[in-house]
Amino acid sequence: MSWERAHVDSNWPTEAIAPHIRALLELIGEDPDREGLQDTPTRVARMFAELTSGYRVDPDKLLNEALFTSNYDGMVLVRGMEFYSLCEHHLLPFFGTVHVAYVPNGKIIGLSKIPRIVDMFSRRLQVQERLTEQIADFIEQVIQPRGVAVAIDAAHLCAIMRGVRKEQARMVTQVVRGVFAEDANLRQEWRAWIQQTTSPVPILPGGGG
């Protein structure tokens, strides 16, 4: 099975979307029948199936009973998770790193589930502010921790390739709730840990740094 087919669910309307991509190619002055573009409408339709797959994730199946009772009461931090999303304003990618922390209140969540939660919300049409809140909201809903913190550091191609064209611009968003908002020492510890993470967001050609 090809990479593209492996990421397209059976209900995805590839055949309905592809003609619109073909029409777009014609409108921008291209020839969709030339060799390099003949399969592009279908490839693009399948690509969007993967990039928007978060809409079709069942949260219960994602968690798959990976919630466990625990007396651990320190900070749990998963840092430096790479993510890719699509800006809902221009359908251009934004990408970078996500850091998620929580302080349990009798329940913990399986380690692999936190990156999957990030993917569930990032693989949708998004704005970074809402993505940050949705990740925090979901973790609060699922395990009701004493506190949760989420930070995202990302580059947005809508501000790099077009518009203001600021190649080195990064956007940072943060949500801190519960004990992270109440306890300055815990909040400082959280920030110190995530500041040690090296971001995978590349420095693009032509910029400083």
- Greatest alpha-carbon pair distance for the chain in Å reads 63
Give me 16's structure tokens: 């309905």
d(CA 128, CA 172): 9
- The full set of domain ranges for the chain reads 3-51, 61-195
Q: Do domains 3-51 and 61-195 have the same CATH topology?
A: no
Report pLDDT for 105: 97
- Give me the helix-helix angle, 128-143 and 113-122, nearest 10°: 140
| Distance separating alpha carbons of residues 205 and 158, to the nearest angstrom | 16
Supply the CATH classification number for the domain 61-195: 3.30.1130.10
- 178-199 pLDDT, tens digit each: 999 999 999 999 999 999 865 5
For residue 11, what pLDDT band results from cuts at 50, 70 and 90? Answer: confident
Active site residues: 87-90, 128, 156, 158
> Is 83:98 a contact under the CB 8 Å cutoff?
yes
Q: What is the pLDDT of residue 207?
A: 42
Rounded-to-integer distance, Cα 84 and Cα 100, Å = 16
Bridge partners (DSSP) listed for residue 147: 103, 178
DSSP 35: G
The CA–CA distances, whole Å, from 65 to 79, 107, 109 equal 23, 12, 9
Q: Which of 152, 150, 195, 153 is nearest to 177 (CA)?
A: 150
Q: What is the pTM of this model?
A: 0.89
Out of 1.20.210.10, 1.10.286.10, 3.40.1440.10, 3.40.50.620, select the CATH number for domain 3-51.
1.10.286.10
Encode pLDDT of 114-171 as tens digits: 999 999 999 999 999 999 999 999 999 999 999 999 999 999 999 999 998 888 899 9
Per cent of the chain over pLDDT 70 is 89
Question: And the tokens for 193?
Answer: 């840990």
> In the predicted model, what is the mean pLDDT of the chain?
90
Pairwise CA distance, residues 203 & 36, whole Å: 30
Contact status, residue 102 vs residue 148, Cβ threshold 8 Å: yes
**Please, what sign has the CA dihedral across residues 175, 149, 84, 46?**
negative
Q: Look at residue 172 in the predicted model and tell me its pLDDT.
A: 96
pLDDT at 167: 86
pLDDT at 196: 86
Dump pLDDT digits (tens) for 54-73: 999 999 999 999 999 999 99
